[in-house]
Structure 1
Amino acid sequence: MKLFIKLKDTIERNNLESRPQIIFNCDESGFQTDVGIQQILCRKGSRNPHKVGGSVTKSTYTVLVYCNAIGDYLPLYVNYKGLHFYSNWCQNGPKDVVYNCSPSGWMESSQFANWLENVFIKHTTKLEGPKLLIFDAHNSHLTIPLIEMACANNIELFCLPAHTSHVLQPLDVRVFKSVKNARRNVLKDYIVILDAKM
Structure 2
Amino acid sequence: MNVDMFLQNLQSVQDRYEFTLRDMWDMDETWVTTVQKPVKVVPRKGSKQIEKRTSAERGTLVTVAIVVSAIGNAVPPFLVFPRVHFRDHFLINSPLGSSGAANPSGWMKESDFVGFLDHFVKHTKCSKERPVLLLLDNHESHLSIDGLNYCSTMTIYDIPGIISTALTIAVTPANILAGFKTVGISPFNRDIFQEEDFMGAYVTDRPLPNDLSEMQAYQENGSPGMLNIYSSEATDKTTNQAGSPSTLRDAQLEGMNELVAPNMAISHVNEPTPSTSGISTQKKNKLELNTRSSKTTT
Q: Note closer, same or farther for the CA distance 1:35–1:12 as it changes in structure 2 (3 Å cut).
A: same
Deviates more, 1:26-35 or 1:3-12: 3-12
Any residues of structure 2 matched to 1:14-33 within 5 Å, and which?
Answer: 14-16=17-19, 19-33=20-34
Q: Which runs of 5+ in 2 are unaligned?
A: 42-47, 154-298
| Greater strand content | 1
AA aligned opposite 1:23: M
Q: Does 1:10 align with 2:13?
A: yes
**Cα deviation code 1:129-150 (max 9, x no counterpart):** 3211100010111111110110
Question: Structure 1 37/68 Cα, relative in aligned 2: closer, same or farther at 3 Å?
Answer: closer
User: For residues 68 and 60 of structure 1, what CA distance do their matches in structure 2 show?
Assistant: 26
Residue 122 (structure 1) aligns with: 122
Larger relative contact order (CA 8 Å, sep ≥ 6): 1
Q: Which structure features the higher share of helix residues? A: 2
Structure 1 unaligned spans of 5+: 41-46, 153-198
Residue of structure 1 equivalent to 2:71? 70
CA contact (8 A) 1:37 1:55 kept: no
C-alpha separation between the residues in 2 aligned to 1:84 and 1:96?
20
Length, aligned pairs only: 144
Task: State the AA in 2 paired with 1:122.
Answer: K
Q: Deviations over 1:5-64 (max 9, x none)?
A: 221121111112xx1111111111111111137899xxxxxx9x9x99774431110000
- Which amino acid in the other structure matches residue 71 of structure 1? G
* Distance of 1:38 and 1:109 partners within structure 2: 32
- Matched-pair contact (CA < 8 Å) for 2:76–2:97: yes
State the TM-score, normalizing by the size of structure 1. 0.63
* Structure-2-length-normalised TM-score: 0.43
- Give the secondary structure class of the aligned counterpart of 1:84: coil
Take 2:132 and 2:67, find their aligned partners in 1: how far apart are those partners? 13
Deviation (angstroms), 1:75: 1.4
The residue matched to 1:140 in structure 2 has which SS? helix
- Structure with max Cα Rg: 2
> How many angstroms apart in 2 are the aligned matches of 1:53 and 1:4?
43
Match of 1:105 in 2: 106
Distance 1:84 1:55 in 2: 28
